[in-house]
Structure 1
Amino acid sequence: MTLLIVKNITREGPGILEKILHENNIGFHIVDLDAGDNLPEPDNYSALIVFGGPDSANDKTEKMHQELAMIEKAIDLEIPYLGICLGMQTLAKSRGALIRKNEVREIGFTSEDGEYYSVNIQDEFVNDPLFAGLGNPLKIFHLHGETVDLTDNIELLGTGKYCKNQIIKAGKNAYGIQGHFELTPEMFEVWLDNDPELMELDRNMLLQDFYELDGEYSNNGYTLFSNFLKIAGLL
């Protein structure tokens, strides 16, 4: 019973998820595509989580071609899947959705109106096992400029104010989340030092937002990843 974790860029990794995996002695294998690792066959794993990165699901690179093919195979085999940011968009792309530029870039914890970014879980999906023990709405961190236009074979579970399609589900057990719930303080510092879009913003304000939300944000991330691991039969 092993979890496959795919990193599209080295700095965007499991974070809070890794703590849960160690606490519960859950086996996992990390593939770092940014470091040149090769993608294994998904049917060798019990579940699959794909994290974010600066690529677009529309890229014509061999890396993206292989990633989309792997995700499509995993979903067809009903291997539990969770995609974060780019991993959500690649899930949607593998199901035939259109990936396009969003009307606004969502970067950080707060929008241009000064309010925290949040996701509203649709009423008909509040009892989905992914959301067990979570409140509604959920505050979230964003780092994306693209969005997805959904197809009939994708359900919309959660919506946002500036980017409507925030949490999706395809098939039996494949989920995608447009924002990030995995950040730890150490990871956030690395992102602030290296991500070009975050480096354009006020570092002190970003840190202030992070620490003001830390308890709520971390609890939500811990609960959400734990719920997915339960869906996958790993916890």
Structure 2
Amino acid sequence: MRINVLQHTPNEGPGSIQSWSQKHHHQMFIYHPYQYNILPSAAETDLLIILGGPMSPNDSTEWILRERELIAQLLENETPIFGACFGAQQIAKTLGYQITKGPKEVGFAPVYLKSKTIPHLPAELLALHWHEETFEIPAGADLLFSSDLLENQGFVMNHRVIGLQFHFEPQADDLREIVINDGNYTKDNLLNQTAEDILKTPVPIENKAVMFQLLDYITE
């Protein structure tokens, strides 16, 4: 399987998604469209991973629009897609749904399972949040997760698409990279966590297992 990853900022990489790819002996190709304006074609994509970033799907930057053209082709082809944060918003935007201002959640906070569509997921997990925009749940999709501050934290649709507003993919090294480079973003957030607070929080070991479960589900 060829996994094409769209990375949107240097400090938010694929994390445990890369470990899943290696476990299954897949090939992973990481694109940086924000810097090089290069995207894969639909024909060479078996699984698309769309990661987070500081930009908004409401921006009119050329690569953001081209990225949605790719997503639309893959949705039509029923190619598996996983989106985190900005990535999930891009999927919703491609489907015609609004991206709006939401509560600024930065740090670790629980998310609660809202659907039994994907078997054997835990009822509650501690996830990393790093966002202040949110998506509408697309028609035909199931609400997958909610948090105390935001209902629309995740969706799953057609056994092929998952979008999460938060992050299961970062591991300990990834978390440190995010925080040391983007720690100023923690200011004035509703979780009231500082960069130091976040760095002191161990990444829950179950998040990697759940990330594997989600990718297994959309690719099986």
User: Could you state the TM-score of these two structures normalised by the residue count of structure 2?
Assistant: 0.89
Kept after mapping to 2: 8 A contact 1:80/1:232 = yes
Aligned to 2:211: 224
For 1:183 and 1:62, the matched residues in 2 are separated by 28
For 2:214 and 2:136, the matched residues in 1 are separated by 26
Residue 55 of structure 1: how far off its partner (Å) = 0.8
Kept after mapping to 1: 8 A contact 2:159/2:218 = no
Residue 101 of structure 1: how far off its partner (Å) = 0.3
For 2:214 and 2:135, the matched residues in 1 are separated by 24
Counterpart code for 1:81: I
For 1:166 and 1:37, the matched residues in 2 are separated by 29
Cα 1:61/1:37, change in 2 over 3 Å: closer
Aligned to 1:47: 47
1:29-85 deviations in whole A, cap 9, x for unaligned?
111123315011123121111000001011111011011111111111100111001
User: What's the % identity of the aligned pairs?
Assistant: 26
Aligned to 2:163: 176
For 2:31 and 2:177, the matched residues in 1 are separated by 19
Aligned to 2:100: 100
Residue-pair matches, total:
215
1:7-156 alignment, distance < 5 Å: 7-102=7-102, 104-109=103-108, 117-122=109-114, 125-126=115-116, 128-129=117-118, 132-156=119-143
For 1:219 and 1:20, the matched residues in 2 are separated by 14
User: Could you state the TM-score of these two structures normalised by the residue count of structure 1?
Assistant: 0.84
Aligned to 1:197: 185
Q: Which runs of 5+ in 2 are unaligned?
A: none
Kept after mapping to 2: 8 A contact 1:142/1:180 = yes
For 1:152 and 1:16, the matched residues in 2 are separated by 29
Secondary structure of the structure 2 residue equivalent to 1:140: strand
Counterpart code for 2:207: N
